[in-house]
Amino acid sequence: MAIPTFIKSDSRIGSVKNLLLLLIFIGMPLYHMWTASFGVYPSYELSAVHWAFVGSFIILVKPLKFKGGWLVDLVLFLLNLFICYHQIALQEYFVQNAGIYTKMDIYISMASVVLALLIAGRMVGKILPIISILFIAYAYFGRYVPGMFKTTRFSLTRIAPYLFTAYDGLFGQTLTVSAQFIYLFVLFGTLLELTGAGEFFVDISYSLTRRIKGGPAQAAVYSSMLMGTINGSGAANVVTTGTFTIPLMKKVGFRPSFAGAVEAVSSSGGQIMPPVMGAVAFLMSEITGISYAKIALAAVIPAILYYATLSISVLFVAKKIDVPDPQEEGMESPLTILRHGWLYMAPVLVLIAMLVIGYSAQRSAFFAILSTVVIGFVKNRENMTLSNFLKALQNAAKGIAPIAAACLLAGIVMGIINLTGLGLKISGIIETIANGNLLVALLLAMFTSLLLGMGLPTSAAYMILAVLVAPALVNMGASMMAAHLFILYFGALSTITPPVALSTFAAAGIAEANVWRTGKEAMKLASSGFVIPFIFVFNNELLLNGSAFDIMFAFITALLGCIIISASLTGWMGTTLGWTSRLLLFPAGIMLFIVNPMYWNLVGILVALIVFGIELIRKKRTQKEILNV
């Protein structure tokens, strides 16, 4: 059998690389599927083997470009494999020798930190490696820092072994989550795409919204939501679904910048949409000790409100610019598409059902992946060729590489935070500045989350924020659930906020639009995402915490608030709204989120009714004047 070519090269080195990549593409899913079903291994071994695969993949696909670089890559490749092996051997050695290091262990630990920066940095860019280096520098030089940030003396021979062996270090909980959960869901997503399910989700979304003005934009919202909850990266989801949806939006009359913004915002929102939440739900469960089922249920209403605001805003814009009504000729009905493609939903239903029943995320993903492969052969047999299957496995490796690299470097950050006690200090600063005011603390947490989340996958951003920011919010009265969902929201939104807006950049590239104009539109469309987290911290009914009546009342009023906020942002609701009306409607919409005290709801509704009444009277007067002329 001819070996597929993954790297275009006629040289002997290129052939060896292709063979190694083939082994990675086949070996990595087989290993992770085994560990998700029958194999039971300690977390450090799972993380080490996982990084052995991912680190090797990064070196092969992101080689050094200078002359003789292949030789350096070869050394790094072999050294990375040895370090991953030594991680397993050392942890087993510790069990028998009470955690005593040898000099060789210390040297290998130092090499592991340097190697992590060199390899992971090729995939995630410069930001996270620089942050990691700054944290290491803080641990080493912290004894010279005045004030509350002063640390005890930490030598490199103390820092490196800690990062190499600790549960919150390089091969600790952050990389373990990537190995246990995230890779399986990335693999699930790529295989689902191979079967044709991605096209089915787009088609069914487009068909369901075909009679709504601006239907292709609505299709983008919901198809990106469906794929985004499985995909662990907003930017990756933009590239996957945006290639279908953005051209459709442009074709019916939406501006390129607006089309790109819709895709960026809807793709990033997938990280907060149950049931999978981009695999962050499992990470949150690991860190907080709250069960996955409770986290997924609590996230339902805020996610619905986020997408409701986005969907309504898209509708209002379509009405405002008078997008042409969709042509239904040749378009199949939703029932027809569902009848032909309902089997594509089976893997997702299998996943949800198993999670709800109580199976582990790994076991649920295992059976979801198996069902996906079966459905692929049933529904799209001609596409399930060896070449396409290997391409899907290649895409899974590409998808997990930046996430695993970020998780590895996040281990450095989290390890230093715990080693030096920096997390408690930053939490203390937030509490000190806030001076007992939870709202001020939330504002500080928001800016910190957006800043630290720049350029990171949502999972990596959440891990860092869970240590640095969440404890301060909990100490000041926020519930554990609300505090962690709060930082998750802003960690996800950091992919569309400047200056490092990866999802926005990806969408603008596909839309051939100005990046900053696309970013401006995205910020407007995602505005509810900036408001909702503040509300559910104070109003736990939106997290399904309260009586059935209170929850329903909070949801209905919040939904009305979303409609009013959408009108404010788009400048349309039955008629074009003036700037004064838009400025009044935005706070009125926010008032409808606040159920305690209830009079804020009444004030918000009253302001909205007055504004809409004035605008309708103004519209009728204008129409009369035109008729009289």
pLDDT digits (tens, 9 = 90+) for 487-507: 988 888 887 876 556 678 778
Backbone angles phi, psi at 309, to 5 degrees: -60, -45
- Beta-carbon neighbour count of residue 147 at 10 Å? 6
Q: What is the mean pLDDT of the chain?
A: 83
How many Cα neighbours within 13 Å face the side chain of 456?
Answer: 30
How far apart, in whole angstroms, are the C-alpha atoms of residue 272 and residue 269?
6
How far apart, in whole angstroms, are the C-alpha atoms of residue 354 and residue 585?
43
pLDDT of residue 278: 65
| First vs last C-alpha separation in the chain | 80
Q: Which two tokens stand for residue 95?
A: 């069990």
499 burial type by CB count under 10 A (0-12 exposed, 13-18 middle, 19+ buried): exposed
Highest mean pLDDT among 83-92, 93-102, 112-121, 444-453: 112-121
Q: Which two tokens stand for residue 317?
A: 């814009």
Residue 10 has pLDDT above 90, yes or no: no
624 burial type by CB count under 10 A (0-12 exposed, 13-18 middle, 19+ buried): exposed
pLDDT of residue 330: 59
- Cβ contacts of 424-428, under 8 Å, gap ≥ 24: 424/471, 425/148, 425/149, 426/468, 426/469, 426/472, 427/468, 427/469, 427/471, 427/472, 427/475, 428/148, 428/472
DSSP-based three-state secondary structure for 576: strand
Nearest one of 591, 484, 572, 585 to 531, comparing CA atoms: 591
How far apart, in whole angstroms, are the C-alpha atoms of residue 283 and residue 288?
9
pLDDT, tens digit, 9 for 90 and up, residues 510-542: 788 887 788 888 888 888 788 888 888 888 888
Cis peptide before 274 (omega within 30 of 0): no
DSSP structural state of residue 64: -
pLDDT of residue 99: 59
How far apart, in whole angstroms, are the C-alpha atoms of residue 174 and residue 405?
10
Interhelix angle 215-228/197-208, rounded to 10 degrees, is 140
Contact 504, 261 (CB under 8 A): yes
Max intra-chain CA distance, the chain: 96
How far apart, in whole angstroms, are the C-alpha atoms of residue 189 and residue 231?
6
pTM, two decimal places: 0.72
pLDDT, tens digit, 9 for 90 and up, residues 284-329: 888 888 888 888 889 899 999 999 888 888 888 888 888 776 665 5
Backbone angles phi, psi at 576, to 5 degrees: -70, 130
Contact 180, 46 (CB under 8 A): yes
pLDDT, tens digit, 9 for 90 and up, residues 20-57: 999 999 999 999 999 988 877 888 899 999 999 999 99
pLDDT, tens digit, 9 for 90 and up, residues 125-152: 787 788 889 999 999 998 888 877 888 8
Q: Which residue is associated with the tokens 């554990």? A: 480
Q: Which residue is associated with the tokens 């009044």? A: 584
- Domain map (residue ranges) of the chain: 12-175, 546-629
pLDDT, tens digit, 9 for 90 and up, residues 359-416: 777 888 899 899 999 998 888 788 888 888 899 899 889 888 887 887 788 888 888 8
- Evaluated on CA atoms 127, 133, 139, 141, the torsion sign reads negative
DSSP structural state of residue 593: T
Backbone angles phi, psi at 572, to 5 degrees: -150, 135
How far apart, in whole angstroms, are the C-alpha atoms of residue 383 and residue 63?
31
What Å distances lie between residue 89 and 48, 166, 321, CA to CA?
10, 14, 65
Q: Which two tokens stand for residue 627?
A: 């008729």
Contact 269, 492 (CB under 8 A): yes
Contact 439, 488 (CB under 8 A): no
- Cβ contacts of 603-606, under 8 Å, gap ≥ 24: 604/561, 604/564, 605/560
Q: Which residue is associated with the tokens 């305690």? A: 596
Residue 341 has pLDDT above 90, yes or no: no
How far apart, in whole angstroms, are the C-alpha atoms of residue 13 and residue 365?
36
User: What is the percentage of the chain residues whose pLDDT exceeds 90?
Assistant: 15
Q: Mean pLDDT throughout 445-472?
A: 78
